[in-house]
């Protein structure tokens, strides 16, 4: 039986099974079996003013403190049962120290070591873990320059899902995904597919230039995404709420606290992922997304949605403008010595440039010329 | 007992009992008693392509057709029991033919005639009404140049409040308010107060220039607002939904229909009124607001909230930019002969100019200089 | 022009202009003008354990404390600007000390004195008010035996509408209405109409027995309702939330606190009023309703909805059972000496008896016999 | 590192890794590898009046018709991309013809054949599939007597996730789970664990009697649950909505259609699963659950929550009564010849009997005696 994809009536959405072009300078596929990754589990970020960051994440965003000391705060979301989803560590330079994934078994750490060793990457393993609450773990500088961590062993803590006496209007219930900036998206995707990830959606142009790709292990739209740009850098880390009004409540609270200027983009509805979203910036400029309601992607033949970079509804389904900083700003990442990784420039076309301003071109309806009163048209 | 207003901790919000400066060229207060106005009841708009407008209001916005013929469509919201809240009439020039208010009794029509006759306005009364469903009514060209209508007699129709079999995700349940553009806001407010309206909120600067004022008869934030600008023109007409997700559903539907370019501004949370909002434009450019959740204002000493025009949260509590078209575009209004009224320029400062761009100045926190990545800062 | 009411397709709903039968033993209509009542403003209740009640209303329901001392707590809702909406006063017997209404002007207090004096009621006036925050006020024992209060002068406090930093998931934003138990509903309604109230909805049977009536001053479905039963007693006091999920959040929190047994009825959708509701009981058994989204009723010819007492969707639109305690339990009310008023039995048919159990009869569709698995059918 | 489970402060909730007692009469574990099941995919039900059922599922519940003919209707939810989630087939006896699961690959069908053949079950395979849209598939009568189906090959159809022009207020977006009635829950669980399922939550008493267990493949609380009772029977099939208000909209619509008597239980918040729920009954009495917002369970050491059968918040977090029909009624299931399977009685204690009525015992707070006005206490 053939599996014809019925094209969506939303015309510029194209679906296909394997839409990303073959990369020119492919990272070789290791012969060894990759680790069986369950999900993105936590991010460790370096902040330059721990008190200010604690206030932002705990007092404003209402993340739950599992544990803290003078230099570090361990935070989790309401439905989490592992020790943390976010680590704030005091340091001299705002950056990301680890993108951490949970794997299915302790043996998967051996597989991670073999996989990255074969790739020629720097690999370190610590039986006692790198941060509190996490046991035996592996950290690597991956082929794209990102500090990736893998662990299985973890301290269990109370899952606060039923603790409605503690919920706040904007309660964050789950870590949803990471988003990484890298110059060559097809090259990054091919490596991530070797690591066991699957593409769910992507943005391309007619020439096949790939601007971004979303990839998953758990059956949501993504555990991480690759966004084309100067990298390696961290674009954002995303937490989920239950409903859309929870995200609106966060905006309202930021207004009441006279902190509305931390709202960078949104709230809005994504085209890609179909989720409702908000982007805010923490005191160091690290970008946080609040996200709710994407869709199940767990079947191996889950249709891949390819968006035209010129479709003005791809990034915001309502066609609202993407602020330039959202394309240009991102956080540095650290190597395993804790030093910032040098950033390599993207040489492919930039999504910002091809879509906004005098040289850009975006449409609401394919064939119609861009027009109207949208702010994005006037930039 | 004194009634000291406890200042809100949201610092730039100032409350006072009568905040609008006395107008220089005041319209004389009539000696006669004004009509007892219940509420804004319906707007009659002229559209240049009735089929296109019917599709917009009925198929997209899901307003209910009470009755229609070849040149006119009579529409109502789900909780309405009078014949209509919006009349679409085919005509050569897109404009507003009437801002129509319901009064408490038939005798209030006599009062309206006397009130506007004393003001020297053109006044017409028709026992059979101007449009279907409405009986005895009075139309005037008011001192500001707007076509105002007053009526009591009206055909009752089914209130569809309980008809959840007919509701759609973005169901509009009530006409909430009008918004008018006029050059001299204090002059307009003084006349409207003579007509029995009360100010609930306003926007001023430190010099006392008034940029906008919200006024009510029914105990919500407004039945109409006066927005400073070239006028007389109609800024928007607003319909209410039950909840915020209903407004989001309208945006999502517009995206699915590839009509996202009709979204002009929002969705967002207003500072003024505290309501959740969306602005869209119909096929003729008439602006529609979708609105939910302002507050009770029915006490005679209801505190008036005066916003600083430089407060970047006054128009959008989240500090998101107001698109320039929202300040500049508005619909013409017709005189009683159906001819467009000439537009008089505003001579006071423009809110657009004092808040956006090189000469403007807006703050998130009073004393802080404007900065950050908001689109509004880059225009 | 005639005003034919189009019957709703929801068949057993009947609308009419004046549906309540003329009472047999009518309370004479005073010749004097009644006070111009704005709205229900606050209730003063006597609680037997102030600490327990404070915990319930402040820690569980998140009402805002305006002021408190050793014997009294003054509470308000988030959008209120007057001193309080609920007073908890320590006392020996759980009861209601006052149903308090705000009037339009100080002169209306004189009108209240004259109105009730003419009715032969006990009337007391105190220039300094009866409770903190309230100035000159009048308390009466009304013809039905209820302690009614009227005031204009009141201390203003911060309206917390914009204080989203303080909101909780179940935030109560407004006092919505009272509900009173009285033996003879038509007699009560006629008196309340003399006082200036208007009926919006009621429950009757085919013989014209009236079981309950809803009456308003502000343009919502009610400021108070008269429920047929042994009285005078207080059935409940209701606070409004913004949206339905806020009410669900209160239920969820009660579950998390292992206090779910204070949930007496709901959440559900009312037939009468069309609002979404929840009934809970405080530590003394005083009943609180949480309520959201009824409709505008401010027009003088607002259609009155008369529900058949046998319509199983009248009290709960989903046909879910009304628990017997909801019909039988209510709070005592105090006379002006602070003594509980004797309770007089209802002699008309009881809604409980005619609708539930072996002798009752309720239908989902008129003409169909009651059947199915609903708990209400098995009681 | 040890993984101590921090007990929830919601006291009667106990978590453990493997809480179900070892069954006495265990079904032998096959030596062969089980099929790799992705998720519950669709249910095929036999209905006795196809027109009535089509009206219920399409006009009332707004499921999407993928395809239909004179005897069969194929329905899907808004986010689905495979041909259907529910098949309605006209037949003489209301029953369930198949609980159908999607597997990861075509090879898993061979594994399913081997697995059930080793178990001694009747196994049939059809290369052309049993219903339209599904290709090569295997149907078995499983050891518990249920008709289970496995397939990989399926026709793709448009995923309507972005088609907000088609959404209705109560849109069903995903098939969430099945629920089966079987006499011996531990025996059923042990077999399902052999098939690759994992327990997420369960209900027991202090003696270790197991009343129900929830088991998952995809990382939600369940793909199916085993409910103790006379079986094999089908308890319900559940569809997910995005938010809670969508479920309320379904109730409201049923009221408007005067079909509220199809609401059997809810809406409410489950204790088990923490989801918001509603149970309704179709024209043949088949039970449908509408369900939203459980939590991620995909980690192999996901904590298992064991509820005390006497905890009155286990089935409804708000303590609202479970109607007896919910415990007693269920749908017959068919063997592979299309004949109803005989029903075997449960011999273990019944949850209905141990929790409701004179011999039952439920508590809100452990140690407190049952009391109060809840309907459940009066049955």
Whole-angstrom distance, CA of residue C157 vs CA of residue C159: 6
Task: Render pLDDT for D118-153 as a digit per residue (tens, 0 to 9).
Answer: 999 999 999 999 999 999 999 999 999 999 999 999
Which of the residues B251, B261, B290 would you substitute to probe the A interface, choosing the one with the greatest number of A C-beta atoms within 10 Å? B261
Count CB neighbours of A339 within 10 A.
Answer: 11
Q: List the 224-243 stretch of A: residues with Cβ below 8 A of B.
A: 243
**Contact assignment for A162 to C256 by CB distance below 8 Å:** yes
Whole-angstrom distance, CA of residue A177 vs CA of residue A164: 24
- Give the pLDDT of residue B170: 98
| Confidence grade of residue A20 (pLDDT, cut at 50, 70, 90) | confident
Chain B residues closer than 8 Å to A261 by CB: 312, 319, 364, 371-372, 374
Q: Which of B188, B197, B191, B275 is nearest to B240 (CA)?
A: B275
- Give the pLDDT of residue B371: 61
Mean pLDDT along residues C108-130: 98
- Give the pLDDT of residue C10: 45
Query: Does residue D13 register a pLDDT over 70?
Result: no
**Contact assignment for D156 to A4 by CB distance below 8 Å:** yes
- End-to-end CA separation in angstroms for chain C: 49
| Confidence grade of residue A378 (pLDDT, cut at 50, 70, 90) | very low
Name the residue in chain A with its Cα closest to that of B376: A375
Name the residue in chain C with its Cα closest to that of A255: C164
In sequence order, the 6+-apart residues with CB closer than 8 A to the CB of B121 are B140, B141, B142, B143
Name the residue in chain D with its Cα closest to that of A14: D158
- Residue D373, chain A, CB below 8 Å: the answer is no
Query: Does residue B13 register a pLDDT over 90?
Result: no
Mean pLDDT along residues D295-317: 96
Whole-angstrom distance, CA of residue B131 vs CA of residue D197: 67
Whole-angstrom distance, CA of residue B144 vs CA of residue B182: 7
The domains of chain B, with CATH numbers, are 37-162 (3.10.180.10), 168-365 (3.10.180.10)
**Contact assignment for B81 to C302 by CB distance below 8 Å:** yes
Annotate C179-188 with b (16+ C-beta within 10 A) or e (fewer). bbbbbbbbbb
Q: List the 131-190 stretch of A: residues with Cβ below 8 A of C.
A: 162-169, 171
Which two three-digit tokens encode residue B202?
A: 């306003």
The shortest CB-CB distance from A243 to any of C164, C245, C256 is to C245
Query: Does residue B378 register a pLDDT over 80?
Result: no
- Give the pLDDT of residue B85: 98
**Contact assignment for A155 to D38 by CB distance below 8 Å:** no
- Give the pLDDT of residue B360: 79
**Contact assignment for B7 to C153 by CB distance below 8 Å:** no
Report the mean per-residue pLDDT for chain C. Answer: 93
- Give the pLDDT of residue C111: 98
The shortest CB-CB distance from B165 to any of D165, D171, D257 is to D257
- Give the pLDDT of residue D17: 62
Task: Render pLDDT for A55-97 as a digit per residue (tens, 0 to 9).
Answer: 999 999 999 999 999 999 999 999 999 999 999 999 999 999 9
Tracing tokens 């597919």 back to the chain, one arrives at A193
Mean pLDDT along residues D77-94: 98
Instruction: Look at strands C287-292 and C276-281 and give their pairing.
Output: antiparallel
**Contact assignment for B365 to A245 by CB distance below 8 Å:** no
Percent of chain B residues topping a pLDDT of 90 = 87
The shortest CB-CB distance from B167 to any of D165, D169, D257 is to D169
- Residue A317, chain D, CB below 8 Å: the answer is yes
Q: How far is CA D87 from the centre of its chain?
A: 16
The shortest CB-CB distance from C298 to any of B9, B38, B271 is to B38
The backbone torsions φ and ψ at residue A315, rounded to the nearest 5 degrees and listed phi first, read -90, -30
Neighbouring chains of A at 3+ CB pairs under 8 Å are B, C, D
Mean pLDDT along residues B154-170: 97
Mean pLDDT along residues B35-45: 98
- Residue B245, chain A, CB below 8 Å: the answer is yes
Which two three-digit tokens encode residue D271?
A: 């204790």
- Give the pLDDT of residue A12: 44
Query: Does residue C119 register a pLDDT over 80?
Result: yes
- Give the pLDDT of residue C366: 85
Work out the burial of residue B211: count CB atoms within 10 Å of its CB; fewer than 13 is exposed, 13-18 middle, 19 or more buried. Answer: buried
- Residue D127, chain A, CB below 8 Å: the answer is no
Query: Does residue A13 register a pLDDT over 80?
Result: no
Which H helix or E strand runs over A236?
A: strand A233-240
- Give the pLDDT of residue B15: 63
- Give the pLDDT of residue C21: 85
Which two three-digit tokens encode residue D196?
A: 């690759």
| Confidence grade of residue C375 (pLDDT, cut at 50, 70, 90) | low
Mean pLDDT along residues D334-340: 98
In sequence order, the 6+-apart residues with CB closer than 8 A to the CB of A48 are A90, A91, A92, A93, A94, A283, A284
Which two three-digit tokens encode residue A16?
A: 């296909």
- Give the pLDDT of residue A92: 98
Query: Does residue C192 register a pLDDT over 80?
Result: yes
- Give the pLDDT of residue D369: 65
**Contact assignment for C251 to D269 by CB distance below 8 Å:** yes
Mean pLDDT along residues D173-188: 98
Neighbouring chains of D at 3+ CB pairs under 8 Å are A, B, C
- End-to-end CA separation in angstroms for chain D: 49
Query: Does residue C17 register a pLDDT over 80?
Result: no
Which H helix or E strand runs over B109?
A: helix B107-118
Question: Angle A155-A156-A157 (CA atoms, 0-180°, nearest 5)?
Answer: 120
| Confidence grade of residue D366 (pLDDT, cut at 50, 70, 90) | confident
Q: Which of B251, B264, B240, B261 is nearest to B327 (CA)?
A: B264
């Amino acid at each position: 039986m053939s599996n014809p994809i019925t094209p969506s009536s939303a015309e510029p959405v194209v679906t296909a099974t394997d839409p990303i072009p073959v990369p020119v300078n492919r990272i070789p596929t290791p012969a060894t079996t990759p680790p069986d990754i369950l999900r993105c589990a936590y991010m460790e970020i370096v902040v330059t003013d721990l008190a200010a960051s604690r206030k932002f994440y705990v007092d404003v965003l209402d993340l739950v403190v599992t544990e803290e000391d003078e230099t570090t705060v361990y935070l989790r979301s309401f439905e989490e049962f592992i020790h943390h989803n976010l680590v704030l560590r005091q340091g001299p330079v705002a950056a990301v120290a680890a993108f951490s994934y949970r794997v299915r078994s302790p043996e998967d750490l051996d597989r991670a070591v073999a996989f990255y060793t074969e790739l020629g990457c720097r690999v370190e393993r610590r039986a006692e873990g790198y941060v509190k609450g996490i046991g035996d773990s592996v950290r690597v500088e991956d082929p794209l320059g990102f500090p990736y961590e893998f662990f299985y062993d973890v301290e269990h803590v109370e899952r606060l899902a039923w603790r409605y006496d503690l919920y706040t209007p904007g309660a964050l219930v789950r870590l949803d995904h990471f988003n990484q900036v890298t110059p060559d998206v097809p090259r990054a995707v091919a490596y991530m597919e070797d690591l066991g990830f699957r593409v769910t959606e992507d943005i391309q142009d007619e020439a096949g230039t790939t601007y971004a790709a979303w990839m998953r292990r758990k059956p949501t739209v993504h555990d991480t995404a690759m966004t084309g740009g100067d990298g390696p850098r961290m674009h954002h880390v995303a937490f989920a709420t239950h409903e859309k009004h929870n995200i609106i409540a966060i905006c309202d609270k930021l207004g009441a606290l006279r902190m509305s200027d931390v709202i960078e983009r949104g709230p809005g509805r994504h085209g890609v992922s179909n989720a409702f979203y908000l982007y805010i910036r923490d005191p160091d400029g690290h970008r946080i997304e609040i996200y709710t309601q994407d869709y199940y992607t767990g079947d191996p033949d889950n249709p891949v949605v390819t968006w035209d970079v010129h479709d003005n509804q791809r990034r915001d389904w309502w066609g609202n403008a993407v602020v330039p900083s959202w394309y240009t700003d991102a956080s540095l990442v650290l190597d395993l010595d804790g030093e910032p990784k040098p950033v390599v420039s993207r040489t492919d076309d930039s999504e910002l440039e091809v879509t906004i301003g005098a040289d850009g071109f975006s449409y609401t309806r394919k064939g119609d010329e861009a027009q109207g009163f949208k702010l994005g048209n006037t930039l």
